[in-house]
Amino acid sequence: MKTGLNRALVYLLIGAFAVFSASCNNAGSSGGSSTPGGGGKKLRLAFVTNNPSDFWTIARKGTEKAAAELPNVEVEFQLPGQGTAAEQQRIVDDLVAKGIDGMAISPNDPANQVQMLNRVASQALVVTQDSDAPASNRAFYIGTDNVAAGEQAGKLVKEALPQGGNIMVFVGKADAQNAKERYEGLKKALEGSNIKILDLRTDDTDRVRAKSNPADALVKYNDLVGMVGLWSYNGPAILSAVKEANKVGKVKIIAFDEEDETLAGVKEGSIYATVVQQPFEFGYQSIKLMAQVIGGDKSVIPASKQIFVPTLAIKKDGVEEFIAKINKLRGRS
């Protein structure tokens, strides 16, 4: 009887241990799942901009739409207040410390941020958007074909200045990949024309300098007939300087993006045209594609590792329709 009782007790303990082990394994398996739309822990994805421009308000709407369609995805939208590489570094370090699964970033200084991007890429999925860092280990880039966008801006310059003349170009940072490529495309489009670029001026995303640069150029070059702003806030800054100098119409302006002041300038005819991107798609597609890749579907990454969102040229005849569309995306009535 005693031997039978001991044997029964051993069997009971073995059975209990097996049940306990199975339950632990199942709990670990379900808690570690990160399949988009399935059970388990939520994917933590981040979208990091390169400055606080209103341009990114539209991109945020895109990330929100993607998050609403992916119940197992959380999105953290980070908007640097100053638009410096140092501030972007702090934001990225904080995101890594939080244990993000993926990050879509518009790097401020791609050439000097490769090490940072590669460090993050060793721990999470890294995607570049708006501005690329092709030398890094980013999985892919999504955004504008900036060389083509620069060429589009160049064609608009030639339309606005059929007689040719001297122009100036303005941007936040000349070494940002999108700035370099837009400038390259602009110069390519103007090759062989009688339009001459006198200089490219930068402002390091300082709004005061963004306005003083064109103001100074208008004083320095009396024969200036055109100005091109390669970043979103450059358009309003140029327009303000041109208005203060009483040279509206005498100096043709080609801008980028869809800030309110830029669109108002196009509507009133003080800005000839603006080349607009589709930042809503930057936000929406970045989140959706990161979730797919992390979920195991890498077929969405093209061989080129570049996904281009086309740009549009908005002139006076089409600006009202565009404003209505963009206001809807911004959530305005």
> Each residue of 93-117: pLDDT tens digit?
999 999 999 999 999 888 899 999 9
User: How confident is the model over 29-79, as pLDDT tens digits?
Assistant: 333 334 454 456 899 999 999 988 878 989 999 999 999 999 999 999 999
Residue predicted with more confidence, 159 or 329: 159
For the residues 119-141, what does the mean pLDDT come to?
Answer: 96
List, for residues 23-41, the tens digit of each pLDDT value. Answer: 333 333 333 334 454 456 8
Q: What is the pLDDT of residues 289-298, one digit of tens each?
A: 999 999 999 9
What is the percent of the chain where pLDDT is above 70?
88
Q: Are 199 and 227 in contact (CB under 8 A)?
A: no
The CA dihedral of 133, 135, 141, 147, to the nearest 10 degrees, is 70
What is the 3-state composition of the chain as percent helix, strand, coil, each rounded to the nearest 5? Answer: 50, 20, 30
- Note if the pTM is more than 0.85: no
Lowest mean pLDDT among 18-22, 170-174, 219-223: 18-22
Instruction: Give me the mean pLDDT over the 164-183 stretch.
Output: 94
Could you give the angle at which helices 55-69 and 279-294 cross, rounded to 10 degrees?
Answer: 40
Q: Give 17's pLDDT tier (boundaries 50, 70, 90).
A: very low
- Over residues 211-259, the pLDDT tens digits come to 999 999 999 999 999 999 999 999 999 999 999 999 999 999 999 999 9
Q: Are 82 and 108 in contact (CB under 8 A)?
A: no
Kindly state the average pLDDT of the residues 145-164.
Answer: 97
Mean pLDDT of 188-213: 96
Q: What is the pLDDT of residue 178?
A: 87
Structure confidence at residue 83 (pLDDT): 79
Angle at 101 between CA 98 and CA 104, to 5 degrees: 100
Position 122 pLDDT exceeds 70: yes
pLDDT at 263: 97
Match 């969405």 to its residue by tokens: 300
The pLDDT value given to residue 40 = 67
Whether residue 18 is predicted with pLDDT greater than 60 in this model: the reply is: no
pLDDT, position 19:
36
Average pLDDT for the chain: 88
Count of Cβ atoms closer than 10 Å to residue 332 Cβ: 9
CA-wise closest residue to 182 among 159, 154, 161? 154
